[in-house]
A and B are shown apart, each in its own frame.
Chain A
Amino acid sequence: MNSIIFRTVSRLLMGLMLLFSLFLLWRGHNEPGGGFIGGLVAAAGLVVYGLADGPKSMRLILRADPGAIALTGLLIAVIAGLMPVVGGSDFLTGLWLFIGATPTDKGLALGTPLLFDIGVYLAVVGGVVGMVIAIEESL
């Protein structure tokens, strides 16, 4: 699609959608959101850019093969699930690290569920973008 308006707007939109996807990913543990929906929003942002500029530039800004992104994400998710197994808990049990916790406040909570969600995020981004690129390139 060769429209200068769409191409200009698509860059702005992509930036906003990527930021919003990170926000969704971060809040996902206790509020609506998470890796899957965050990944879909990020993929939608990248696809908008790809529609405007073509699949070639989409590959360029991704810097890695979408399939590799997806499977790295899966690997991260599996590792997040296996970390508690090393400590003797069940597969996928949440392990938490509370940074700067006070008696009233949990502080910054980092845990394996977040790592799992990051893995899901990457798997969804890689999977969806990979499919869209494959379709666009065969058109």
Chain B
Amino acid sequence: MSLRTEEMDGNSVRDPVIRMSDVSVTYDDGESYVLDGVTVPIERNEILGIVGESGSGKSMLASSLLDAVPDPGQLSGSVEYRPEENESTEVLALEESELRRLRWEEISMVFQGAMSSFNPTMKIKEHFIETLEAHDAIVGVGMDRARELLEDLYLEPDRVLQSYPHELSGGMQQRALIALSLVLEPNVLVMDEPTAALDLLMQQSILLLLQELRAKYDLTMVFITHDLPLVASLSDRLAVMYAFELVEIGPASEVIGSPTHPYTRALLNATPNLNAPLSEMRPVEGKSPAPINVPSGCSYHPRCPLATEECRANHPPDEPVSPGHTAACFHWEEARTEIELNYDGAETGGDQR
């Protein structure tokens, strides 16, 4: 990767554990893109939040990190995994057997819908044992770790392990799934809408647990959600997805406090906020594009009030806004003044969260 693209990321990432470069996922022989040239480095031990609306390609980004895009999707680009500072592996070039080892041992994943992630006819314990056996881990040691993880997640290990999935509540299943994903001590945990099916209180408690786990197990986390306020308080950095691309990325406080891309600003204005009166809440006008007809140029131009001929014709580069903060927009400077935010704390740079 050239120095220039590094700068264009605008990401001051010193020691990335994963570096995604120009990663695309296509279906129908390249006709439709469901992930379009995503470039993002992931800092070791950070929590990277990725937000976007439904169908913006968030889950595809998550699957790409493990080279686990559902068939017949075609994955291209580069996903570089660096277990240590001086080691480097190209995930997309791995053999099937090497990939098996990478998944769950190095990079693990928690899916949306914990309720459907367990085999309904097997006890939770068997899920742990078979995972350990499949990776040639010592089952006794592994199960001790599983018990510790379950305890860290405030579950009773013996009761949970002896249960069938349907005997646990949604929150318990979610936490058991997180424990299962950490049983082989991975470096990176990718979470795809892990709290989507849970109520607000359970979401909050899981987020707290995740922060504890990160500190204890030196985890890097990629947290994917459509729930902007939820991830804002958790993440170190935030990336905003629109139409299968990353349109803005930066430190969470900056992206929330002084959003730059017109879409991010519109999205924040559409987010329910205690400080803003309901009458000022505005939905983002229009519809987000389907994979088969993404607009040319900037994919947001049909919905953007600032769109010009340039936006319709050319794809905007990632403009550096401030150190570690980029936005893919020709008019990012105008956006800051033209699109007003309807909540307090904006433009002051960071106290919002």
Binding partners A and B: no
Where the two chains meet, the residues of A that have a C-beta atom closer than 8 Å to any C-beta of B are none
